[in-house]
Amino acid sequence: MPKELKEPRESREARETSPTRAGAVWALVVTSVAGFMASLDNLVVTTALPSIREDLGGELHDLEWTVSAYTLTFAVLLMFGAALGDRFGRRRLFLVGITVFTGASAAAAVAPGIDSLIAARAVQGVGAAIMMPLTLTLLTAAVPPARRGMAYGVWGAVNGLAVASGPLIGGSLTEHISWQWIFWLNVPLGLALLPLARLRLRESHGTGAPLDIIGTVLASGGLFGIVYGLVRGPADGWTAGPVLLGLVAGTVLLSGFVLHGVRAANPMLPMRLFRSRAFAGINAASMLMFLGMFGSIFLLSQYMQGVLGYSPTEAGLRMLPWTGMPMLVAPIAGILSDRIGGRPVVATGLFLQAAGLGYLGYVVTTDVSYTAQLPGLIISGIGMALFFAPASHLVMSSVRPTEQGMASGANNALREVGGALGIAVMSSIFAAQGGYETPQTFVDGLRPALAVGAAVVALAGAAALAIPRRTLTPTPTEQTPTPTPRKVPA
């Protein structure tokens, strides 16, 4: 009898469900590329807006919605996407998310008018909200605990680069080809990922609890109201009726979501998770980090073009010491987090990012040389790179394996809300202290905005220091559970 037929069925099942090296590599490739697509579309449209308006027309608020339609649907549906994956299968819903995102990208590329483009962007956000939170849970299931820091490092490098380099990629494609290619870029990537994800990723589930419809409605409605108010506030005024309604109603609904998470039997996001200093600390740090980073990139990219006179491509290239640093440093940060723990690496990265932003706020003038800006860009880049990988590790290791889907969804939702808040708050500070009238008024508004961004990121570093020190040995919550062998009838 062949040797493989003598192997007990229980042993074969345990072997097939345990992480393998090849499976881990494929999972890292698939989830990193998927995360790159979802993260890239946060800011990739910003430098293409003038060309979009020239081709499709539309007022200023229409152009603003081409950015915020994606951000809103992405933010408000993240936790629901994670819950769907936990309930119906993470790989299955991951495939659904890729399909929706890819189809919506093609629809955006061929949009005949501004309204259809906005609608396609909203559907893109739906696909990203399903796809993005499942990347970490699928990666965690495929990688052994001892190697997860390095895997999260690569994943964090790719996603961090996508977020920060969106203006560069969007500006380059728009300037040298056409704005439609910022969306066409997603189509071949999505089509390539679909068979790879189907064949190379293992299926996994969460607790199997019923879907929390009430929690989903409260969270989605609350986040929509608050993000809508933050996005529209700088343009419409903070006392405008729709803005106030969105902020107040969103706050009320999110308060109801918190109470629901405390009292419900199977809530989408149990509030007991926040009793953990690790989970609460890393989520607070993540939201504050994205607040400072998004707002700073939003204003600095305009400063380089509007004040210093660079083209979109030239501005993006000059920001590479900041935006490209995650590709170099984040894998090293993942290895460091395996050896000394994620807490000191994350905190160091956040304080470096704060120092870099503070330096840039100090040196910016109407004619500052690039050499003078370079130290701030490099320091900020190293800080951002040190944050991404260990932060992901801390999120996933702060909860039980069956809760990683909801934890990933909550963390990504808070990051998106932080990004929207950062653009709104720092734009408001910019408008109050300066404006677009002259290069000097732009600098007058930019300096205090960057100072606030630096302070917020430093506060994120303080939140990271509140995370408990962790041992080097993976805790039971980090380990992949051993499957219980099923008895085979004789």
Give me the percent of the chain exceeding a pLDDT of 90.
11
**Residue, of 206 and 279, whose pLDDT is higher:** 279
Q: What is the pLDDT of residues 288-333, one digit of tens each?
A: 998 888 778 778 877 887 788 887 778 777 877 887 776 677 677 7
Asked whether the predicted pLDDT for residue 242 surpasses 90, the reply is no
Mean pLDDT of the chain: 78
Average pLDDT over residues 321-350: 77
| pLDDT tops 80 at residue 71 | no
Residue 160 in this model has a pLDDT that exceeds 70: no
293 or 256, which is more confident: 256
Calculate mean pLDDT across residues 332-348: 77
378-425 pLDDT per residue, tens? 898 888 888 876 877 787 777 777 677 677 777 777 787 787 777 777
pLDDT at 220: 78
pLDDT at residue 153 greater than cutoff 50: yes
3-state SS, one letter per residue, for the chain: CCHHHHCCHHHHHHHHHCCCHHHHHHHHHHHHHHHHHHHHCCCCCHHHHHHHHHHHCCCHHHHHHHHHHHHHHHHHHHHHHHHHHHHHCHHHHHHHHHHHHHHHHHHHHCCCCHHHHHHHHHHHHHHHHHHHHHHHHHHHHHCCHHHHHHHHHHHHHHHHHHHHHHHHHHHHHHHHCCCCHHHHCHHHHHHHHHHHHHHHCCCCCCCCCCCCHHHHHHHHHHHHHHHHHHHHHHHHCCCCHHHHHHHHHHHHHHHHHHHHHHHCCCCCCCHHHHHCHHHHHHHHHHHHHHHHHHHHHHHHHHHHHHCCCCCHHHHHHHCHHHHCHHHHHHHHHHHHHHHHCHHHHHHHHHHHHHHHHHHHHHHCCCCCCHHHHHHHHHHHHHHHHHHHHHHHHHHHHCCCHHHHHHHHHHHHHHHHHHHHHHHHHHHHHHHHHCCCCCHHHHHHHHHHHHHHHHHHHHHHHHHHHCCCCCCCCCCCCCCCCCCCCCCCCC
Over residues 352-370, the mean pLDDT reads 90
Residue, of 283 and 162, whose pLDDT is higher: 283
110 vs 207, more confident: 110
pLDDT of residue 309: 82
pLDDT at position 63: 64
Q: Give me the pLDDT at residue 19, please.
A: 57
474 pLDDT exceeds 50? Answer: no
Tell me which range, 28-37, 189-198, 263-272, 307-316, is most confidently predicted by mean pLDDT: 189-198
pLDDT (0 to 100) of residue 103: 93
What pLDDT does residue 453 have? Answer: 92
Reported confidence tier of residue 202, pLDDT bands at 50, 70, 90: confident
